[in-house]
Amino acid sequence: MSTENKQLLSKKAIRRAYWDWMFWNLSVQNFERMEGPGIVKMLADVREELYPNDVKAQQEMMQRHTIFFNTEPFLGCIVPGIVLGMEAEKARGGDVSEEFINAIKTALMGPFAGIGDSLLPGTLCPILLSIAMGLSKNGEITGPLFYIFVFLGIMLPLTWFLFNYGCKAGANAAQMVLANGIKDKVTKAAEIIGLVVVGAVTASYAKVNIGFVYASGKMKIDLNSIINSILPGLPVLLTAFLGYYLMVKKKWSVNRMMLFFLIVAIIGYVTTILAV
Amino acid sequence: MSLIQALLLGLFGWMSSIYSPVLISGLGGWYTLGRPLVSGMVIGIILGDVKTGIILGAAVQALYIGLVTPGGTMPADVNYAAWIGIPLAMVAGAGKEYALALAVPLSFLGVAAVYSTVAINLYFVHRQDHLIDEGKLAQAARIPMVGQITNFVFRFTPIFLINFLGADVVTEIVKVIPQWFTDILQIFASMLPIVGFTLLLKMIVKSNFDLLFFVFGFIMVSVGGLSMIPIVIVASVLAYIDFKYSKDKEAA
């Protein structure tokens, strides 16, 4: 047993595996195994490093990963990192069984899919996009450029760190991330920024104009200006609350909500209650 | 629309689709170039009108901002919506209401493409199994590269063809559409961002009182007329206060 070498994997091998996962995780997405082939590819590309000149062992390693795997690929990249770390330990003669590797892998993919989806497409992307949309209200190029640089500036170092951390700390790494209270607090703070920003973008992007004008002789009542003098944008705000009530409390689907607004638009236009 | 422009749209549309690996998969692709706001910028560059591209992109973005695509289930496909809806509306010289009117049905068509891709890819999964069993390990490792062909076909081909062949058709249709139809579409399109933002609120709001933050942000624009950067700063202060307060509470 070659335990004299503390470093289980060379930096080069970890880098190779990281980029492998980053590029190919969803490339052959499929009903049966989802990201499974991506894991196989990642391990296959460092197989010489793990089992030098031992084709039989390399083949066995690849075979044991031809199973279902699915997680959020980026914040969840800690899981393939952990898999790589465990495989390296096994290859160096550590007491790691095949069942153990797959049990850990399968146990972690669910929680990290949940965390990843709620933090990445559920929080980070929409908040940055809302800010970007606010910057591009009149088609300015600043919005998309802001999004590209900030998003990649956060995600590239973060995924590199998570993958390495998973690889080095092994299965314990997951505990650290899953049980740490700091995540909840950062999420809470991000959500407050998100709520304020989404409110701001709603005000600049959504529009509901009341077209109804009551005229009797010389008297003319312009409902739109009256309502907006109470609070500018009040019709939009009330429509947003109605949408919130129907979609969140009444659990309406997106398509039903869109159909509802289409009907409102048609009726509103015909009765001249709503205007362009 | 020229052949080159349609080809470029197909190419970039493919690169920004959810299963495309080329731009560090989702990092530079689906979650960056694939966001309609960023797609709009690139479409604008290809078609020679960046400003309009971004305006149309932002409109489509607003509708889909709350869309999360977990574990292979796809409620709507933003890829076709952005890469076909935005360019067609643009060449027709139509406003964002037409980009949205095209985007919504296209997003359903895109879902069919996703399901076809993940079904056909089963072939490559089993091919990988066989190659490993036969000891052809290097070939097995290349399966994610080879299997990308399915996604390429289902993204590049429709985006390229519909843009190239559809541009004139859509332009003609938009010309003969009566004003009342455009007006209704515009009223409808102005309400649509609410659907996208509500979907987002659904994920973020934990208690009804959280909506006060939403109202606060709303008022900063509608009453205060502030732009985005000062709003983000104010929001960060609020978040910091909350962060500090909840930490103290825990220590006590």
A2 has pLDDT over 60:
no
Mean pLDDT of A138-153: 97
Chain A contacts in chain B segment 113-142 (CB below 8 A)? 117-119, 121-122, 124-125, 128-129, 132-133, 135, 137-138, 140-142
**Residues contacting A263, CB < 8 A, separation 6+:** none
Residue carrying the six token digits 């429509």: A239
pLDDT at B71: 55
Q: What's the rounded Cα separation, in Å, for the pair B168 and A148?
A: 33
Q: Who among B133, B150, B198 is closest to A243 (CB)?
A: B198
Could you tell me if B213 and A195 are in contact, meaning their C-beta atoms sit under 8 angstroms apart? yes
Confidence check: pLDDT of A59 > 50: yes
User: What pLDDT shows up at residue A9?
Assistant: 86
Query: In this predicted structure, what is the pLDDT of residue A8?
Result: 74
Entry field: residues in chain B = 252
Angle at A26 between CA A20 and CA A31, to 5 degrees: 140
Binning pLDDT at 50, 70 and 90, where does residue A4 land?
Answer: very low
- Write down the pLDDT at residue B155: 97
Strand partners, A275: A209
Query: What is the tens place of the pLDDT at every residue in A201-234?
Result: 999 999 999 988 888 888 888 888 888 889 999 9
pLDDT of residue B190: 94
Mutate to test the interface with B, among A27, A124, A238 (most CBs of B within 10 A): A27
Q: Which helix (H) or strand (E) holds B228?
A: helix B228-251
Tokens of A257: 């909500």
A275 touches chain B (CB under 8 A): yes
Query: Which residue is associated with the tokens 């296209």?
Result: B106
- The list of chain B residues with pLDDT below 70 reads 70-73, 247-252
Q: What is the structure's pLDDT at B247?
A: 60
Chain B's closest residue to A264, CA to CA, is B188
Q: Please report which helix (H) or strand (E) contains residue B127, including its range.
A: helix B122-133
DSSP track, A94-152: -S--HHHHHHHHHHHHHHHHHHHHHHIIIIIHHHHHHHHHHHTTTS-THHHHHHHHHHH
Tokens describing residue A272: 């001249």
Q: Is the pLDDT of residue A3 over 60?
A: no
The model's confidence at residue A31, banded by pLDDT at 50, 70 and 90, is: confident
Angle (CA) A90-A92-A94 rounded to 5° is 50
Does residue A5 register a pLDDT over 50?
no
Domain residue ranges of chain A, discontinuous segments joined by +: 11-198, 207-275
A133 pLDDT higher than 60: yes
